[in-house]
Amino acid sequence: SKHKALSWEHANKIEAQLREEVQQLLKLAEDSDSRPVNDGLDVPAEIARREKRLGAIAQAKAKIEERARERHAVEQQEYEAKCAKRQGQRDEGKKPRGPDPQPPASGPKASDQVNLTDEESRIMPTSSGGFEQSYNAQAAVDTETMLVVVHNVSQAPNDKREITPILDKVQALPEGLGQVSTLLGDTGYFSAANVNACEAQGIEPMLSMKRESHHIPVLQRFAPD
């Protein structure tokens, strides 16, 4: 459930509140000889309860930081690939389109979160426009038999990161099943890195570069480039 997820921003807020409450309780315990403690208030138990929650928050923050480092490593590779592509265009005397890519920011984002009941899952966008706590499941299907050849389940919401794991599993298949010569995919899988990954394994990538409009007028559809 999204409601059982703890974000980086909220974790820091609750952590600061709990630390302040622990200090208040310690001060209350020190002053207990001169000032009576409210009936029903078990100071040691309240301190222990907050320290336990602080420990859980520390573990959650460590998990968020670990994921942030993993994300930054991937984003840095994508950034360097884009820079290399643009530099290659410049070397050929071409002017790259659009502004230069910006380097990815390191560290957790305020919205980064971990689910407290299923920490391996992630908040992902859905086709209906909302968000759900889920996984990203992928399958490679043989176009002739329509049989699933390999599958993969990951925590990455971006499908562009799913080509390489599938390629690795395809290459590990028994030789008797034959060789994969072509990979078909929609625009959600297209990236320079994925094209290079396919070609490095001797597979021809056929990935849509952009989403096309539906119901294009026939004369426009067959117009010369």
User: How many angstroms separate the CA atoms of 147 and 3, rounded?
Assistant: 38
**Residue 40 in tokens:** 């029903």
The per-residue pLDDT for 72 is 92
pLDDT exceeds cutoff 90 at 3: no
141 strand-pairing partners: 148
The per-residue pLDDT for 4 is 72
**Residue 31 in tokens:** 């002053």
The per-residue pLDDT for 157 is 84
User: How many angstroms separate the CA atoms of 106 and 63, rounded?
Assistant: 15
Q: What are 129-139's pLDDT values in tens digits?
A: 777 778 899 99
Alpha helix (H) residue ranges in 31-136: 43-91
User: How many angstroms separate the CA atoms of 95 and 105, rounded?
Assistant: 26
pLDDT exceeds cutoff 50 at 101: yes
- CA diameter of the chain: 92
How sure is the predictor about 34, in pLDDT bands with cuts at 50, 70 and 90? low
pLDDT exceeds cutoff 90 at 120: no
The per-residue pLDDT for 31 is 80
Residue-wise burial string across 101-114, b where 16 or more C-beta atoms lie within 10 A, e elsewhere: eeeeeeebeeebbb
| pTM (predicted TM-score) | 0.59
115 strand-pairing partners: 5
- If you average pLDDT over residues 12-21, what whole number do you get? 96
User: How many angstroms separate the CA atoms of 41 and 24, rounded?
Assistant: 13
Q: What are 160-217's pLDDT values in tens digits?
A: 989 999 999 999 999 888 889 999 999 999 998 999 999 999 999 999 887 766 667 7
- Cβ distance 204 to 181 under 8 Å? yes
How sure is the predictor about 1, in pLDDT bands with cuts at 50, 70 and 90? very low
3-state DSSP call for residue 21?
helix
The per-residue pLDDT for 17 is 97
